[in-house]
Amino acid sequence: MNKYRMLKKAGALQEAVDSLSHASSSLTSNIGNDNAYNEDGFMQAQQAVYNAPRRPNTLVGVQSLSAANPFEQMRADEYAAIQRLNQENESYDYASAHQTRVGIQALPNLRAAPAGQHDAPFANNAGGRHIAIDPHTGRHLPPAPKSNNTALSHRMEVEMGLFFHTIPEGQRVLLTDKNGRGELIDGPQRVWSWGKKTQVLSQYTAYPGEFLIVRKRDGSQEHIAGPVKVWFDPRIHANIEKEEALQIAAKEAIVVYASDLSGDINQVKRRIVTGPASFVPKPGEWLHTFSWHGSRGADYKKYPGALTFQKLWLMPDQMYHDVEDVRTADDVVLTIKLMLFFEMINVEKMLDETHDPIGDFINATSSDVIDLVGRYSFEDFKARTELLNQLESYSQLNDRAEQVGYRIRKIVYRGYSTTLALQAMHEQAIEARTRLKLERETENQAQELADFKQKRDFERNTNARLQQRNQHQHDLELQQKREEHNLSIQQKQHQQQLQLLQEQHESERQQREQDTLQQQEAQRRQYEQHVAYLAKLKEAGVDLTAYLTQGRADQVIELRNQNDSLSPHIHVNSNTHS
């Protein structure tokens, strides 16, 4: 309703605008002149004046002008225009609009807008301006220099017109009306803002490994681990801070104390957090800070409070320690140099029993060393220095370490030092002993060198004979292999010749057999022919006996047997042949 009442008074507003016409000539004459303006040094202004639909010919448009020099005159003319509107009993709070600098900004030389476009949003930078606003107070800030950095900061820009505000995407504003009621608006939006206080809110972001500390106006506090983002709301939040989370590596631990407000009495509880972890404290928690004996620079001497830290090292550790002013039984003052290896076993026990375990180790070690060295003279001590490497020699140290939750793993004796005079005498004695030792070692080395040469010569001759024998044996083996090879060749040749002779003999034998068979066959055939011939003669009645013996027998004896059953017996006496 206030909007439409204002539109009906557009005539009065037009008169106010006409009263500003004297500034238009000085402003419009410089438009487009790049040499006369510095765009970063002044603001763009905008005003939209609407009229009722029944009077379209009274609608006026908007023209955005830039000015540098007449800015003060523009402000005076602006107040004059607002005063005229207030005299017309306009119920809207133009003064509050001016206080937020989103009201009339003395825009002379207004021109008429086309009909039907009086409700259209302003565009092309002709209907708006960018104003920097403090997110906490809502006050305007001076223009910021141009920059390519687009990171979020407390100085944000919103496009603000006379009646509307454009909220970009990814931003949030708090609109407060004249009754003090606030409303959160998230972009992208275009909202009606006439007479409302606009406050651009900041966004706080925590990435992995970080956390936000959110303190509220009611006295409460909240810690939020990243990744997270929180919008600052001045109605709820007092302030927001970003902190780094405490990174705890493996074999490390921290001691955390927390206030317990659940009961009537404020109690404090303790807990131990071991790594690997990323620690984010809760509201009301704090870390225990240790202050132990430690070294300063390259000096091995330990000083109280020189080692200050919050993270405990749970892995085996070591330290150098020099026990000074240690007297032997014959009053020789020594400084015993040690190296201690230890390991924390029980953190709770350490927290309950001591505030400086390193200091306890130093005192216990000094007591054990003084007690041990005081039993012997200086010469006896030098002969028994191995006792300082044995854990059994440090009874007080072992007992104290067990009481405070530690375990002594090993102690290494690194040597001793004494007064300058005694040290000089000791060095002279050492020098004399060293010289005699060196001479003896030199003579021993000479003898060993002669023995070495003799041994080497013997070994060299032995190797030469061995090589000669091996060479002779090698030659014999070669000769034997050569003869064996020749013999093998001869054997192969003999076998080949023998095989040839055997083959030749076999061939001859087969030939003889074949010839014999042929002869026998020929004789058989001849005999058969002769038998056939004789058979034919017998058939012809020829006496074959006479025929066969004719002219061939010297004496013919004919035996006739009258009795066929008896076989004749003939006895031939060779002497009868004369």
Final residue of a structural domain among 366, 384, 418: 418
pLDDT score of 138: 46
Could you read off the pLDDT of 100-133 as tens digits, one per residue? 333 333 333 333 333 333 333 333 333 333 444 4
> Minimum mean pLDDT among 73-87, 134-148, 363-377, 459-473: which range?
134-148
pLDDT score of 351: 94
> Minimum mean pLDDT among 222-236, 301-315, 333-347, 415-429: which range?
415-429
Report angle CA 359, 364, 365 to the nearest 5 degrees. 100
Final residue of a structural domain among 201, 233, 258: 201
Indicate whether 174 and 316 sit together in one domain.
no
Report angle CA 463, 464, 470 to the nearest 5 degrees. 85
Per DSSP, 223 falls in state E
CB 105 within 8 A of CB 131: no
CATH code, domain carrying 298: 3.30.479.30
Q: Of residues 165 and 365, which shows the higher confidence score?
A: 365
- Max avg pLDDT among 63-77, 224-238, 558-572: 224-238
Quick one: how far is CA 505 from the chain centroid? Answer: 93
Could you read off the pLDDT of 365-410 as tens digits, one per residue? 999 999 999 999 888 998 999 999 999 999 999 999 999 999 999 9
Tokens linked to 486:
């020749």
Could you read off the pLDDT of 198-212 as tens digits, one per residue? 889 999 999 999 999
Indicate whether 63 and 194 sit together in one domain.
yes
Q: Which residue has the tokens 């004979």?
A: 465
How many other β-carbons are positioned within 10 Å of the β-carbon of residue 324?
12
What is the domain extent for residue 66? Answer: 2-201
Indicate whether 67 and 177 sit together in one domain.
yes
**Structural domain contains residue 69:** yes
**Structural domain contains residue 71:** yes
Indicate whether 193 and 295 sit together in one domain.
no
Final residue of a structural domain among 395, 418, 441: 418
CB 334 within 8 A of CB 327: yes
Cα distance between residue 85 and residue 75, in whole Å: 16
CA dist 366 → 197, 257, 322, 336 (Å): 74, 34, 9, 9
Could you read off the pLDDT of 528-562 as tens digits, one per residue? 898 888 888 888 888 777 777 776 666 666 666 66
CB 193 within 8 A of CB 175: yes
Tokens linked to 421:
């005079």
195 pLDDT more than 60: yes
Q: Classify 527 as helix, strand or coil.
A: helix
CB 271 within 8 A of CB 296: no
* Beta-ladder partners of 216: 237
**Structural domain contains residue 454:** no
pLDDT score of 350: 94
Cα distance between residue 472 and residue 464, in whole Å: 12
Q: Which residues have C-beta within 8 Å of that of residue 374, sequence separation ≥ 6?
A: 326, 327, 328, 329
89 pLDDT more than 50: no
Q: How many folded domains does the chain comprise?
A: 2
**pLDDT average, residue stretch 149-164:** 51
Indicate whether 157 and 300 sit together in one domain.
no
CB 307 within 8 A of CB 334: no
Could you read off the pLDDT of 74-84 as tens digits, one per residue? 545 555 555 55
> Minimum mean pLDDT among 99-103, 195-199, 457-461, 495-499: which range?
99-103
